[in-house]
Amino acid sequence: MRKISIAAACCVALLASGTTLARDTKSMQSIEKAMSQPAAAEKLGTDVKFYFGKSAHPAVEKSIGTYPTNKKTNGVGKSDEEACNWAFLSAMISLRDRALMEGGDAVININSYYKKNEVVSETEFECHSGGIMSGVALKGEVVKLK
């Protein structure tokens, strides 16, 4: 009987330690800082324009659709900010690729959309970082501008 209770106590301790080691740190990161990195200009190009939150944009000729992204990156050996910027860039590349595929030339109303929780901001994006991964989810409307 004593062996069973010791084994049960060990199992409970192991389960509890797994939850205490898990990390899900939410942070708000600068869009301007992420977009001003050389990798962003190089990888995103100039064929598609991006407008965050409720930023003013030219008149829309045609709305093509709203599309979500959900990108993760390896955070090992990187600061949360560095990993978040890489995940953000991956999400932006997905939005750009979708716009080009659908015949759009801009993505407007880009918002954070982590776990379908929408955060509207013209200056920041939401990122979640854990022990080994960081993730960014965005949602934006692909359009053809006039």
Is 134 inside any structural domain?
yes
- Nearest 5°: the CA angle 27, 30, 31 is 120
Average pLDDT rounded to a whole number, residues 49-62: 98
- Domain interval for residue 101: 24-145
Q: Is residue 9 part of a domain?
A: no
> Is residue 19 assigned to a domain?
no
Mean pLDDT of 67-76: 96
CA–CA separation, 88 and 80 (whole Å): 12
Confirm whether 2 is domain-assigned. Answer: no
CB of 117 within 8 A of CB of 137?
no
Of 39, 120, 48, residue with least CA distance to 86? 39
Model confidence over 8-52: pLDDT tens digits?
554 455 454 444 458 999 999 999 999 999 999 999 999 999 999
CATH number of the domain where residue 121 is located: 3.30.110.70
Look at residue 5 and tell me if it is in a domain: no
Average pLDDT over residues 59-79: 97
Q: Taking 70 as the threshold, does the pLDDT of residue 1 lie above it? A: no
Q: What is the pLDDT of residues 83-127, one digit of tens each?
A: 999 999 999 999 999 999 999 999 999 999 999 999 999 999 999
User: What element of type H or E holds 95?
Assistant: helix 80-102
pLDDT of residue 3: 57
Nearest to 72 by CA among 94, 51, 52: 94
Query: Cα separation of 55 and 61, whole Å?
Result: 17
